[in-house]
């Protein structure tokens, strides 16, 4: 049902469910928004407490975010460092399982990561 919900949302501008993929399933469990073993159970739990008018936003925002953070780690870290609130972005990515320090070392961005984290505190 994941793709059906997303296509419905994008093509028909209607939302009857949240399209949860594996990436979103992992993220929502890491954020402790749900406690589930499968993407389908995650979808059911999200739909159980998230207001229906927010379901479409979840489809747009979290699918891409989840894929990028888990598949394009370097790109995600660079975006976090360049955003207006880098410390918060890095904290979120760390919370959902991205090893920002490891990625920073790989990219030679250790100093930038350290500065971003210190600027918030």
* Catalytic (active-site) positions: 2
Question: How many C-alpha atoms does 20 have within 13 Å on its Cβ side?
Answer: 22
Query: How long a stretch of residues is the chain?
Result: 121
Burial class (CB in 10 A: 0-12, 13-18, 19+), 43: buried
């Amino acid at each position: 049902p994941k793709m059906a919900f997303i296509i419905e949302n994008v093509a028909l501008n209607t939302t009857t469910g949240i399209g949860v993929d594996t990436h979103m399933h992992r993220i929502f469990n890491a954020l402790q928004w749900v406690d589930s073993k499968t993407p389908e159970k995650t979808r059911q739990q999200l739909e159980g407490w998230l207001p229906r008018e927010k379901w479409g936003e979840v489809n747009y925002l979290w699918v891409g975010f989840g894929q990028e953070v888990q598949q394009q780690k370097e790109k995600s870290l660079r975006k976090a460092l360049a955003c207006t609130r880098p410390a918060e972005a890095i904290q979120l990515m760390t919370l959902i399982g991205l090893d920002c320090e490891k990625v920073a070392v790989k990219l030679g961005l250790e100093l930038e990561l350290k500065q971003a984290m210190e600027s918030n505190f």
